[in-house]
Structure 1
């Protein structure tokens, strides 16, 4: 990404053992490649919009990079 963007970090609850399996993932660790990733793809923007509405714009409009991070 070119430029300077604000960041949203999503800390995942706990990693799945498959995230560390080099035979299953080209890049390890690889968080949220299964159902969690699917759910994020299909609901993250809606949830973020709901949060922004509920908190009256606590997060300012703009372009953000999103980082998925394991808790450990």
Structure 2
């Protein structure tokens, strides 16, 4: 079974996504700067992506981080 729930801020931006797949729920949190640009994504509390912008608001880069798991 799959379920997804979104939380939005007053500006309508998604700030959290709760995704449940076969009974396991993962949280994805989105952070924005004062200009409303996406700056960070966390999955289950771990930063997975960061974004930077130039003075004109153009996205300069997207750093993606690996999520390591051990069994």
Q: TM-score range by the shorter chain?
A: under 0.3
Q: TM-score, normalised by structure 1?
A: 0.25
TM-score by length of 2: 0.25
| Structure of higher RCO (CA pairs closer than 8 Å, 6+ residues apart) | 1
**Greater share of residues in strand:** 2
Larger helix proportion, structure 1 or 2? 1
